Every structure is written in structure tokens, then in C-alpha cells.
Amino acid sequence: MANAEPARIPPSPTARTASARLAGGAAGLFVVATHKVRERTGTPPLRWVPYGTEHAWRPGSRRTLCGEWTAGWTVFWELAFSPQHARACRACVEASLPAESRRRLAPQAAPAPERRSA
């Protein structure tokens, strides 16, 4: 009875998402790597492509999403970091995903709680 509270509407955070979409995909992340190589397929001029693990990097940061210092690393401004990429750093992938998606990526970490015997 005494618990009746007026409905409170929190301010909506819509303004925050707009700038993140400008570049680097939905998360605003680019590929960074310790080394680069010339692309081996296609016609010249061949692009530089990341060699080895592809980490995720947000412009303005000095570290990758997984916490590596990026000093001396190559930023691939044309490449948006993609979690689907085979060589994407696992830690960066996890750090770049919202919590809901992380759970989806690691189905073996915890058994699904939805199991119910009818």
C-alpha cells in the first residue's frame, strides 16, 4: 500500500549510438595488427592486409580492446573489425560484443537454464 511510486521514465540514451556508426562498423572498431603484408590475390596495386591476429581498435585509444598496446602497430582504416573474421582476436571479439551476444558465442560455458521437464 505504501509502496505506490509514481512512474519514473529514465532519459533515453538514443544520442549515444549515432556517432558510433560513422566508420568501422556498428561498433566503430578498426582492425589493427602487429604486421602487414601485401595482399596475394587480385591485381596490382595490391592492398596491405593484416598479417597474423587481427585485433580490434577504437580511434583515440592506445590499446586494443583486449588490452595490448598498439604502439608501432598498423591500423587498417579500410577494415572494420569483424568478429566473424577467422583471425580476429578472441579477446577482442568478446570485448566488442554486448553481453547478450557474448553468451551466445560461448554456449558451452554454462548449461542453458531453460531446460524444464514438463
Q: What is the DSSP string of the chain?
A: -TT------PPP-THHHHGGGSSSTTTT-EEEESEEEE-SSSSSSPPEEEESPBEEE-TT-SBBTTS-B-TTPEEEEEEE--TTSTTB-HHHHHHHS-HHHHHHH-TTTS--TT----
User: Considering beta carbons, is residue 49 or 92 the nearer one to Zn ion?
Assistant: 92
Binder among 20, 66, 75, 80 for Zn ion (CB under 5 A): 66
By CB under 5 A, tell whether 64 contacts Zn ion: yes
Least distance to Zn ion, CB of residue 115, Å: 34
To Zn ion, the closest distance from the beta carbon of 66 in angstroms equals 3
| 92 touching Zn ion, by CB under 5 A | yes
| Residues found near Zn ion in the complex (CB under 5 A) | 55, 64, 66, 89, 91-92
